[in-house]
A and B are shown apart, each in its own frame.
Chain A
Amino acid sequence: MRINRRTLIRTGGAAMAAGGIGGTVKAQSSGGNLPPHVPEWMQYQGQPYLNPAYGTPSPHEADVVRRSIAGFVTDTAVASWTPIHRLHGIITPNGLTFERHHGGVPEINPDEHRLIIHGLVDRPLIFTMEDLMRFPSVSELHFLECSGNSSTEFSEKSSRLSVQMSHGLLSCCEWTGVRLSTLLDEVGIKPESKWLLAEGADAAAMTRSIPIEKALDDAIIVYAQNGEALRPEQGYPVRLFLPGFEGNSNIKWLRRIEIGEQPWQTREETSKYTDLLPDGTARQFTFNMPIKSVVTFPNFEKSFTEKGFYEISGLAWSGNGKVAKVEVSVDGGSTWQEAQLQEPIISKCLTRFRLPFTWTGQPFEVQSRATDEHGDVQPARERLIDEVGRNALYHYNGIQGWKVAENAEVTNANA
Chain B
Amino acid sequence: MQTHNMTMTMVAATTALLALTVAPAMAQDADGRFDIGSSATQEQIAGWDIDIHPDGTGLPEGSGTVAEGTEIYAYQCAHCHGEDPTEPVKGYPALAGGQGSLDTDKPVRTIGSYWPHATTIYDYVNRAMPFESPQSLAPDEVYAVTAYLLHVNDILPDDATLDAGSLAAVRMPNADGFHSDIWPANQADAD
Measuring CB to CB, which residues of chain A are less than 8 angstroms from any residue of chain B? 71-74, 77, 102-103, 116-118, 123-128, 131, 134-136, 182, 185-186, 188, 197, 199, 203-205, 207, 211, 213, 255-256, 258, 260, 262-267, 270-271, 274, 276, 278-288, 290-291, 319-320, 376, 387, 390-391, 395, 397
Decide if B128 touches A102 in the complex (CB within 8 Å): yes
CA distance A265 to B52 in the complex (A): 9
**Which residues does B use to contact A, with CB under 8 Å?**
24, 31-40, 44-45, 48-55, 89-92, 102-103, 105, 107, 109, 111, 114-117, 119-120, 123-124, 127-128, 131, 134-135, 177-180, 182-184, 186-188, 190-191
Q: A205-B134, A255-B48, A270-B115 are in contact. Are A186 and B179 (CB under 8 A)?
A: no
Write 12 A-B pairs (CB below 8 A) sorted by A numbering: A103-B134, A124-B40, A125-B40, A135-B36, A188-B31, A197-B51, A204-B128, A260-B53, A264-B52, A265-B117, A283-B182, A284-B182
Of A116, A204, A258, the residue contacting B127 (CB under 8 A) is A204
For the complex of A and B, the 6 pairs showing the least CB-CB separation, nearest first, are: A280-B103, A73-B91, A280-B102, A205-B127, A267-B124, A125-B37
Nearest CB to that of B183 among chain A residues?
A285
Partner pick for A265 among B32, B105, B111, B116, CB 8 A cutoff: B116
- In the complex, the answer to whether A286 meets B182 with C-beta atoms within 8 Å is yes
Given the known A-B contacts A265-B54, A270-B117, A376-B188, are A287 and B183 also in contact in the complex, defined by CB atoms under 8 Å? yes
Bound form: Cα–Cα A204–B188 in Å: 32
Say how far B176's CB is from chain A's closest CB, in angstroms. 8
- How many whole Å from A281's CB to the nearest CB in chain B? 5
A105 to B188, CA, bound (A): 34
Q: How far is the CB of B33 from chain A (nearest CB, A)?
A: 5
In addition to A74-B131, A256-B48, 13 A-B residue pairs with Cβ atoms within 8 Å of each other are A73-B91, A117-B40, A118-B40, A125-B38, A134-B36, A199-B48, A205-B134, A213-B184, A258-B49, A264-B52, A267-B120, A278-B103, A281-B102
Given A213-B184, A281-B179, A285-B182, A123 and B45 touching (CB < 8 A)?
A: no
CB distance from A321 to the nearest CB of B (A): 10
State the Cβ distance, B175 to closest chain A Cβ, in Å. 11
B52 to chain A: which residues have CB within 8 Å?
264
Choose from B32, B39, B55, B178 the contact partner of A283 (Cβ within 8 Å): B178
Complex CA gap A376/B187 in Å reads 10
CA distance A271 to B108 in the complex (A): 11
Hey, which chain A residues are within 8 Å of B36, CB to CB? 127, 131, 134-135, 186
Contact of B34 with A207 in the complex, beta carbons under 8 Å: no
- Whether A125 contacts B39 by the Cβ 8 Å rule is yes
Q: How far, in angstroms, from A177 to B45 measured CA to CA in the complex?
A: 24
Closest CB-CB distance, B102 to chain A, in whole Å? 4
**A127 near B48: Cβ-Cβ < 8 Å:** no
Question: Is there an interface contact between A127 and B186, defined as CB atoms closer than 8 Å?
Answer: no
Distance in angstroms from B62 CB to nearest chain A CB is: 19
Find the B residue at minimum CB distance from A291: B188
Task: Say how far B112's CB is from chain A's closest CB, in angstroms.
Answer: 11
Given contacts A265-B54, A265-B116, A284-B180, contact A134 B34 (CB under 8 A): yes
CB distance from A267 to the nearest CB of B (A): 4
With both beta carbons as reference points, the residue of chain A lying nearest to B187 in the complex is identified as A290
Distance in Å: Cβ of B114 to nearest Cβ of chain A: 6
CA A211 to CA B102, docked complex, whole Å: 28
Report A-chain residues with C-beta under 8 Å of the C-beta of B49. 118, 256, 258
**Chain B residue at minimal CB-CB distance from A213:** B184
Which residue of chain A has its CB nearest to the CB of B127? A205
Name the distance in Å between B47's Cβ and chain A's nearest Cβ: 10
**Cβ B120 vs Cβ A211 within 8 A:** no
